[in-house]
Structure 1
Amino acid sequence: MFRKKTLITGLAILLAVTIAGCNKASPEATSPDSNDNSPVTFKYFTFGGGKKDILASDTTIGKKLQEQTGVDWKMEYLVGDSATKAGVMIASGDYPDIIDSSGEMAKLMDAGAFIPLDDLIEKYGPNIKRVYGPDMDKFRQEDGQIYFFPYTANIGYVSEPNFQTGFYIQRAVLKEFNYPKIKTLDEYFDLIEQYKQKYPQIDGKETIGFATLAGEPSSFFTLQNPAMHLAGYPNDGSVMVDMESHEAKLVAGSDYQKQWIQKLSEVNAQGMFDPESFTMNRDQYLAKLTSGRVLGYFSYSWQVGDATSNLKKAGNDDKRYVALPIVFDNNVKDQYIDPPGFVNNYGIGITVNAEDPVRIIKYFDNLLKEENQILVQWGIQDETYSVNDEGRFYFENDEQRRYHEDPELSQKFGFDYFNYSWPRYGNNSLLEDGNAYGPGNQPEVATFSYTDGDKLLLEKYGVETFAELFSTPDERPWSPAWSIALEQGSPEQIFITKADDLQKKYLPKMIMESPTSFENTWNEYMGQMNQLNKKTYEDTITQAVKDRVAGKW
């Protein structure tokens, strides 16, 4: 048995204890060379939840891909805790044909759940090599093999015009006070407090000042990450990296974390913090946002897509939200927009139990043909998008737009199932003809879908797109640091696991207790944090960052 790289996500994901395992036989020894398109159905499982299980051919996209390849998929989505599910899967050895690992890649890799793919790619993967070729060394493991396909192989680069991530605020709050320009955390909460005092109830229920999704272990980073953003750093997971020295410093226990958590303690004492932030699950969180009772929250856009779509569908712009680049002080430059980067610590792989790896790798390669990448992002020309005389993709009418924004239509067509957790171009890619890979990055689409409320808000703030509210990101060749690999069971991995455990124990306590207890609880927290081997962890991440800057991944 060889030792493969295992992977961390810093503050973004809780690392669970893994079970060591050995690789099974190579795919060539166990799989026939399939050269036909006869019907076959494989099993797909993703550790990303939030969708209903489905047969891929029940969607328009899945059916078209089945017609091309003969391959169909039983698609299963996580219900419950991901670490528990991964542990059960590994202990039983009961793997589906392919797994989208999400935050459980380290555990699955260490257990030997995936087969090496290099020989399959060489024999059957011309499109895989075209898309991933320049980046393959970035996700090879220590044995020199490739075991999974990440989702960030950008081909060219285009920014997202409607970027929205950060501190969201209900538009009714901004409208009430004539669209003030707010930048600091104090200004943000002051405005929410004034509105809540004026409107203590919304639709007959108590107004909620601020909420976050910290009740699910896999989403606790939603409470951890704001500290780095408020200090002017992008999402590098557990660390903040100095732009000049490239030294990585831990967010946990920093002055920035203290300032952020102490502010939430004050907000809670004022009756503005939702205590269910530590108990509600994702569905409950999204339902609460959709209700219109929440005035502010912190989230990444991908966490709240369903709520965003449902609120827009409801047609009341005042109940919708806008994300703002909130920071601690006026002299801080926000860095919410990520620079171009490559995420190499999660992806989709073929498992040791796969019935026919050759057939699967051929499906992956077919999926990476440009016409199929257009299918899974844009859909079918003249049905879900149109092309103008200059060859530019756009939405000709609201019905085309709704296929991409309405959750029900998106699921039925298959966008919701195929546009991310598969081998794919990176989000910010360009197609060969210069169109944006994803509709969300196409300027013609960005402005078409604006409601009257969108246009008014943007006009009030003197910008044409939502991304213009944010600063242009500084270049960071190591980005993102949360994808830096650590060996499972290493001192560094053990440290970050224990540091995350301490935060899960103490951060909610500090927020929910009286502010008069904050200093004592913070000191208790730091006393335990300082007993951990922080220096070794920071030194390891710093060296990895410097290696990436030097071009060594």
Structure 2
Amino acid sequence: MGNGQLMIKGGRGVKTARKKTWGIVFLCLMMIVALVGCKESASVDNKGNPSSADDKKPFTFTYFNAGTSKKNIEANQTKIGKIFEEQTGVNVKMEFLVGDINTKIGTMIASGQYPDVLVPDIAIDKVLDAKAFIPLNDLIDKYAPNLKKLYGPYLEQLKAEDGKIYFLPFGVNHGYIPNPDIDQGAFWIQRRVLKEFGYPKIKTLDEYFDLIAKYKEKHPETDGKPTIGFTALTYDWRFFVISNPPAHLAGYPNDGEVIVDMKTHEAKVYGNGEYTKRWLKKLNEINAAGLFDKEAFVSNYDEYLAKIASGRVLGFFDYGWQVNQALNSLLQAGNDDLRYMPLPIVFDKNIKDQYIDPPSFASNRGIGITVSAKDPVRIIKYFDNMAKEENQKLMTWGIKGETYEVDEKGRFYRTPEQIKKTSDEQFREQFGFSYFEWYWPRGNGVFSDGNAWEPRRQPEVAQASYTEGDKKILAAYGAKVFSDLFAKPDERPWYPAWSAPIKQGSPAQIYQQKKQDLQRKYFPKLVLDPPSKFEKNWKEYVKEYNKLDIKAFEDEITKYVKMKVEQSQK
């Protein structure tokens, strides 16, 4: 009976149990399906990075770079871009600046239509004010572990006042290696000038121009055209090339429009001071002597580079990175006499030069994703893939066995053939160096294996790349590399002061704009008018300059400098 009762109860219990069992089985099946789905959509790659089944679907985003002029191209037409496409499924339609930067960016802002990704360069404040960039914080947190690693301790510094990160700068520091060659400021002089006079040691501005004058007198023509004693770049935003030299000549680095006191950390403008007057007076004198390029105030950037590459110019001041294309053209042409030697020229012999940059990180410009972007997640993942160390090496060094080698100690180097190949502009475009080595999320300094981030900073590459002419001129000046001729940089935790964030429409920004307009108006007169008019023009210029809100600008930069010094002491 007891058993019978149990059986009857058990029958109902079995039915109920079966229902529960099928319910559990069904639930388990659903969980398995869900887990499989999760694995499909949010698995990890073989390095533990989050990936997605959709990550490799073909996708193209648009990219506009206002910082440089290059041939428009699709990234997968280059070797580096093709590799990135194979890794991510993403291609990039790349467009570059033609014409005036402010006009181009202004048109974008007025229309509200932007490329997916934008490098606005000096117009970045306008882009930020227009709220054209989307915040990157959440995207980086969710999808970009490699970007987090690349930017590391600097992420806090990248935040705007509202705590949001709107763009990623280029060249974040990972240790410091000085460049064996000169990629920053210098007074460049044609090697034939030095050769003609037995490689004299010249240090001052007067000595520099005296030598150029002597040479031009003996050689008034180059290849049947008038030899140009000294030219200058004044085009568009690059006007700083003619306004910056006074600070360098006085023994200061490129802190932009100010000189920073090493003890008080106070920033002072020099555009209306004795250093600028002395510089412009010298240009006025050489113009009167027929040494200054009459077209300097009307030539555009391409015309300026072409003039230098022609071999007719005996001297100029500029930053190595900005004239590299012209210098490479002369290298490829093979006439060593027409190439240039960088010199740390100063006003007086007792001044210690500071042309070489100290360790720095400029966080006021970079690359951002715009409000027009179709798929910010795919874009940030593309950036993140780019931030992996092996891809950072691809962007700067290229491919082992093709554009660099590795010795038994793990040191990267380039053979003479690879150096020649990677200096050729056509190859650089086809491979992708021209398009990917800058203006993207990128580090600088030293890789985890001890190699330099940039080949040009690797001493083995620099010395192996020297021509017989390089070796001869270096030996004449008792140097192994060109930077040996320059003083070592003093420590400046704030450097560069020009990276201080200046709000659009603020008194400091209005000062900057008015100052630039004023200098564009007066510099041509100060240089090209007869020497008899110089003092009158200078007084008029200074009177107008002093009407500007100089204090607002100096206060803003001083605040930034002192904040950077304080951060460095923590």
Instruction: Give TM-score, length-normalised by structure 1.
Output: 0.92
Tell me if the contact between 1:139 and 1:146 (Cα under 8 Å) persists in the aligned partners. yes
Name the aligned partner's letter for residue 82 of structure 2: K
Q: How does 1:190-205 map to 2 (within 5 A)?
A: 190-205=210-225
Name the aligned partner's letter for residue 178 of structure 2: S
What does residue 468 of structure 1 align with? 484
- Consecutive unaligned residues of structure 1, counting only runs of 5 or more, are 1-32
Deviation, 1:346, is: 0.4
Name the aligned partner's letter for residue 468 of structure 1: D
What does residue 75 of structure 1 align with? 94
What does residue 12 of structure 1 align with? none
The Cα RMSD (Å) is 1.2
- Whether 1:272 and 2:288 are equivalent positions in the alignment is no
What does residue 519 of structure 1 align with? 535
- Whether 1:181 and 2:204 are equivalent positions in the alignment is no
- Whether 1:107 and 2:89 are equivalent positions in the alignment is no
Cα distance between partner residues in 2 of 1:549 and 1:385: 39
Flag the 1:195–1:142 CA change in 2: closer, same or farther, 3 A.
same
What does residue 534 of structure 1 align with? 550
- Of residues 111, 117, 121, the one that matches 2:140 is 121
Tell me if the contact between 1:403 and 1:413 (Cα under 8 Å) persists in the aligned partners. no
Deviates more, 1:68-77 or 1:482-491: 482-491
Structure 1 residues 121-154: Cα deviation after superposition (integer angstroms, max 9, x where no partner): 0001111111112111222101000011001311
Deviation, 1:404, is: 2.1
Q: Secondary structure at the match of 1:154?
A: strand
Cα distance between partner residues in 2 of 1:87 and 1:384: 40
Name the aligned partner's letter for residue 415 of structure 1: F
Flag the 1:34–1:82 CA change in 2: closer, same or farther, 3 A.
farther
- Of residues 372, 393, 415, the one that matches 1:396 is 415
Q: How does 1:20-35 map to 2 (within 5 A)?
A: 35=54
Q: How does 1:263-342 map to 2 (within 5 A)?
A: 263-342=282-361
Deviation, 1:485, is: 1.1
- Of residues 371, 395, 398, the one that matches 1:376 is 395
- Whether 1:415 and 2:463 are equivalent positions in the alignment is no
Cα distance between partner residues in 2 of 1:34 and 1:355: 18
Deviation, 1:50, is: 2.4
In the TM superposition, structure 1's runs of 4+ consecutive aligned residues that sit over 6 Å from their partners are: none
- Of residues 455, 458, 478, the one that matches 2:494 is 478
Cα distance between partner residues in 2 of 1:496 and 1:395: 44
What does residue 262 of structure 2 align with? 243
Deviation, 1:223, is: 0.4
- Consecutive unaligned residues of structure 2, counting only runs of 5 or more, are 1-51
- Whether 1:220 and 2:239 are equivalent positions in the alignment is yes
Deviation, 1:455, is: 0.1
Cα distance between partner residues in 1 of 2:431 and 2:443: 20
Q: Secondary structure at the match of 1:48?
A: coil
> Which structure dedicates a bigger proportion of its chain to helix?
2
Cα distance between partner residues in 2 of 1:358 and 1:402: 39
Tell me if the contact between 1:184 and 1:328 (Cα under 8 Å) persists in the aligned partners. yes
Structure 1 residues 480-511: Cα deviation after superposition (integer angstroms, max 9, x where no partner): 00010122211111112111111111011110
- Of residues 515, 531, 547, the one that matches 1:499 is 515
Tell me if the contact between 1:402 and 1:409 (Cα under 8 Å) persists in the aligned partners. no
Q: Secondary structure at the match of 1:299?
A: strand
What does residue 18 of structure 1 align with? none
Structure 1 residues 196-252: Cα deviation after superposition (integer angstroms, max 9, x where no partner): 0000001100000000111x2111001000111001010001100011111111021
Cα distance between partner residues in 1 of 2:256 and 2:108: 27
Tell me if the contact between 1:46 and 1:101 (Cα under 8 Å) persists in the aligned partners. yes
Q: Secondary structure at the match of 2:361?
A: coil
Name the aligned partner's letter for residue 397 of structure 2: W
Cα distance between partner residues in 2 of 1:328 and 1:322: 19
Q: Secondary structure at the match of 1:42?
A: strand
Name the aligned partner's letter for residue 272 of structure 1: L
- Of residues 457, 473, 488, the one that matches 1:441 is 457
Tell me if the contact between 2:188 and 2:342 (Cα under 8 Å) persists in the aligned partners. yes
Q: Secondary structure at the match of 2:65?
A: strand
Cα distance between partner residues in 2 of 1:414 and 1:380: 11
Structure 1 residues 441-487: Cα deviation after superposition (integer angstroms, max 9, x where no partner): 11110100100000000000001000111110000001100010122
Deviation, 1:34, is: 7.7
Tell me if the contact between 2:105 and 2:120 (Cα under 8 Å) persists in the aligned partners. no
What does residue 6 of structure 1 align with? none
Name the aligned partner's letter for residue 377 of structure 1: T
Name the aligned partner's letter for residue 190 of structure 2: Q
What does residue 473 of structure 2 align with? 457
Q: Give aligned-pair identity as a percent.
A: 56
Cα distance between partner residues in 2 of 1:53 and 1:75: 6
Structure 1 residues 343-385: Cα deviation after superposition (integer angstroms, max 9, x where no partner): 0110000000000000000000100101001101011100111
Tell me if the contact between 2:416 and 2:465 (Cα under 8 Å) persists in the aligned partners. no
- Of residues 192, 201, 208, the one that matches 1:172 is 192
Flag the 1:34–1:502 CA change in 2: closer, same or farther, 3 A.
farther
Q: Secondary structure at the match of 2:295?
A: helix
Cα distance between partner residues in 2 of 1:546 and 1:420: 29
- Of residues 411, 419, 424, the one that matches 2:442 is 424
Name the aligned partner's letter for residue 531 of structure 1: K
Cα distance between partner residues in 2 of 1:382 and 1:430: 21
Structure 1 residues 261-285: Cα deviation after superposition (integer angstroms, max 9, x where no partner): 1100001000000011111111111
Cα distance between partner residues in 2 of 1:153 and 1:410: 23
What does residue 3 of structure 1 align with? none
What does residue 19 of structure 2 align with? none
Tell me if the contact between 2:67 and 2:97 (Cα under 8 Å) persists in the aligned partners. yes
Structure 1 residues 381-400: Cα deviation after superposition (integer angstroms, max 9, x where no partner): 001111111111111231x1
Report which structure shows greater RCO (CA 8 Å, sep ≥6). 1
Cα distance between partner residues in 2 of 1:397 and 1:201: 34
Tell me if the contact between 1:188 and 1:326 (Cα under 8 Å) persists in the aligned partners. yes
What does residue 563 of structure 2 align with? 547
What does residue 155 of structure 1 align with? 174
Tell me if the contact between 2:133 and 2:369 (Cα under 8 Å) persists in the aligned partners. yes
Deviation, 1:302, is: 1.1
* Larger-gyration structure (1/2): 2
Aligned residue pairs, count:
517
Q: Secondary structure at the match of 2:276?
A: helix
Name the aligned partner's letter for residue 191 of structure 1: L
Cα distance between partner residues in 1 of 2:269 and 2:316: 24
